[in-house]
Structure 1
Amino acid sequence: MAGSSSSWIGSAYLFLQSTCTGVALPALYESSQKRPSIFKALKLALADSTGSMSGVDMLKVHCSHPHLIVQLKFCKRESCRRFLRSYREGSLQKSLQSHLQLSLATSTVPLETELKAGSEHLDSMLKDEDHCLECIHREKPDRLRDEEISELEESLKSLTVHQSINNNVAVKDCIPLSPTALPPSPGSSLSPQVTFTFQGQEFVNRTLLPDDHQKFAKLVSKKWKQVGRSLQRGCRALRDPAIDSLALEYEREGLYEQAYQMLLRFIQSEGKRATIARLVSALEENGLISLAEELLGLHSNEDCS
């Protein structure tokens, strides 16, 4: 089975229902205004569960009141295994609730979830991971990706690029509160800095975006460990031996996945405090100036030392 992991394909259905009477997910998804926000939350939560934006594909989203049903396609056994573990441990549910809360700008979105593969109800057999994998593998996708999903994917990519451009424009129009970076307030959950200085320029601080995450994983190469050790100051999730454990766990997947998982752990642990300023500081500390410039939009060169 290990030798054929690259051609492993399976399918499952994720059922979602809000237990909050004021939040009807199918109705929200049927709204052309709210649909992109719901899709973004689903996309990010699924990426959290597999550790990669490409770990699982959404083929179609069905509205069947009171459920929102997401048809999933897995192309790698290990990605599916990570998804199942995240689902079993409740991490996927928490991530979905968190991303929906942010996307819908509401106080909370409590969820009930159910996972099915064909006629099999997987929630009752989650402890038998291999059997769940067999059930999902047995169910081959019965459709190509829905055209609506492809359009939402493109809209999400455009939104990410637009946000990146706006962040860079905001730098020029910003009047800094202080000529230097502001220190974090003790116990504060807000971004630790309002502005920060890089190469003599003032930049608006912000939380890390999916685009930052992917660029970092793609370009940092072998220095991801050093950057992780710089980030571990103040981040419990990266304290020893966490970084070495990540290196071993994802050794077969390669440097991209190792770097992606390290930064994912940082983002999940730090929340709003996982900011561009902290990452740029760690990159500077390890001589990765070109990558820092790339993340801040100072040039479009994807090669970094």
Structure 2
Amino acid sequence: MDSIENTKMAVNSSDNCAWSGCVVLFLRCCNPESDLLTFYKDQHGKFRVFKVIKLTLTDVVGGLDGYEILKLHDADPFLGVELKFMNTLQCKRFLDSYACGSLLQFLSQHASRLLSLPDGVAMEAMLKAGTHTLDHNLQNPELCLQHINQSQPVRLRDDEVTQLEQQLQNSYAPTIQTPQEVPKNSFSFQKRVFGDRQLTSADQQRFAAHVGRDWKRVGRALQKNCRALKGNAIDNLAYEYEREGLYEQAYQLLGRFIQSEGRSAMLGRLISALEESKLTSVAEIMLDIQPRD
């Protein structure tokens, strides 16, 4: 009991002191014909697997800050991903997402898109901090944080990960040089130009299928220039469609935006809201951007 109380005190004071810890996330695809480790061992597949993992972590942690990938390694039949967290906020988000299953859901979505796997392919994971298997203690996040904090990384970031990070940055090659070059009725995303258009019911369905629990964040970004989403509108939607789940809540949010804005409900506005919400991977899905090797 004392150790748990000490952990709670450490977590509560984390804003005033340095906190770090290390976990190893073990991942595998339940489809034997589409093994993540096999993809990773392939020179061309390695980058795609890395991007799948990076996008998944961005989704569950809520951005690129507060953590880094130190190493990816062969833990047959799993692919091991060694992670370092630099604060408790991102680490808590990671643990929450892992515990509720959304991490594996995001992993499956990105793997289906980037590795050409079947939609909804089942994934399996295991989480360890040092000698502790955290899957046994997920109902006690304070204890998990204690184990993670005690498991300090023994290495700097692997050179291969550094190269993959650079390759990921280079994959978003600019096609425009200045904002002035963006044509009329177009918008830019990741330094690429896309033709703007009105949102459709297909966009509404795709958005609802992939945004998950972050739909409210997107709603806050959209409400700045949408009268129908002002005030308590977003919270009211959450309450009204709570029983139907996240898909319906997100679907109704974008539907309210489309209905209210009419011809002004443009794809570019949604992409901008997703960027502001740090949901780059969802924006890529909305634009059907395929990975570059």
Q: Which TM-score tier does this pair reach, normalised by the shorter chain?
A: 0.5 to 0.7
1:25 CA displacement? 1.1
How far 1:66 sits from its partner (Å)? Answer: 1.2
**1:98 maps to which of 109, 116, 123:** 109
| Structure 1: tracts of 5 or more residues without a match | 192-206, 209-216, 218-223, 244-264, 284-305
SS of the aligned residue for 1:12 comes to strand
User: What residue in structure 2 maps to residue 159 of structure 1?
Assistant: 171
Tell me the amino acid that sits aligned with residue 73 of structure 1: K
* Residue in structure 1 matched with residue 72 of structure 2 by the alignment: 61
In 1, the alpha carbon distance for the partners of 2:165 and 2:196 equals 38
Distance change >3 Å, CA 188–CA 63, structure 1 → 2 = same
- C-alpha separation between the residues in 1 aligned to 2:28 and 2:196? 47
| Among candidates 127, 131, 144, match of residue 115 of structure 1 | 127
Distance 2:125 2:162 in 1: 24
Match of 2:269 in 1: 278
What secondary structure, in the 3-state scheme, does the structure 2 residue paired with 1:57 have? strand
Counting only pairs closer than 5 Å after superposition, residues 1-305 of structure 1 correspond to structure 2 as 1=10, 2-5=12-15, 7-108=18-119, 109-162=121-174, 181-182=197-198, 184-185=200-201, 189=205, 225=220, 227-230=222-225, 239-240=234-235, 276-279=267-270
User: Are the structure 2 counterparts of residues 226 and 85 from structure 1 closer, same or farther at C-alpha, using a change threshold of 3 Å?
Assistant: closer
Quote the residue 2:284 is aligned against.
none
Percentage identity across paired residues of the two chains:
30
Give me the whole-angstrom Cα distance separating, in 1, the residues matched to 2:124 and 2:136. Answer: 15
Query: What CA deviation, in whole Å up to 9, does each residue of 1:203-226 have, x standing for no partner?
Result: xxxx99xxxxxxxx9xxxxxx956
Whole-Å separation in 2 of the counterparts to 1:149 and 1:180: 35
Residue by residue over 1:169-223, the C-alpha shift from the partner in whole angstroms, topping out at 9 and shown as x without a partner, is 9979x9xxxx9945524786469xxxxxxxxxxxxxxx99xxxxxxxx9xxxxxx
Q: What SS does the corresponding residue of 1:240 show, helix, strand or coil?
A: helix
1-structure distance, mates of 2:41, 2:196 = 46
Shift, 1:77, TM fit: 1.1
Paired residues of 1:60 and 1:149 also in contact (CA < 8 A): yes
CA distance in 2, matches of 1:183, 1:104: 27
Residue 110 of structure 1 and its aligned partner are, at CA, apart by 1.5
1:227: how far off? 3.7
Does structure 2 conserve the Cα–Cα contact (< 8 Å) formed by 1:125 and 1:132?
Answer: yes
RCO higher in structure (CA 8 A, sep ≥6): 2
**Deviation, structure 1 residue 45:** 0.6
Question: Which amino acid letter does the alignment assign opposite residue 21 of structure 2?
Answer: G
Contact 1:231 1:278 in 2 (8 A): no
Instruction: Give the direction of change, closer, same or farther, for the CA distance of 1:266–1:150 in structure 2 (3 Å limit).
Output: farther
Offset at residue 163 of structure 1 (A): 7.3
Work out whether residues 199 and 266 of structure 2, in 8 Å CA contact, stay in contact via their aligned partners in 1. no
- Structure 2 residue runs without a partner (length 5+): 1-9, 187-194, 212-216, 239-248, 259-264, 275-293
Bigger CA drift: 51-60 or 90-99? Answer: 51-60
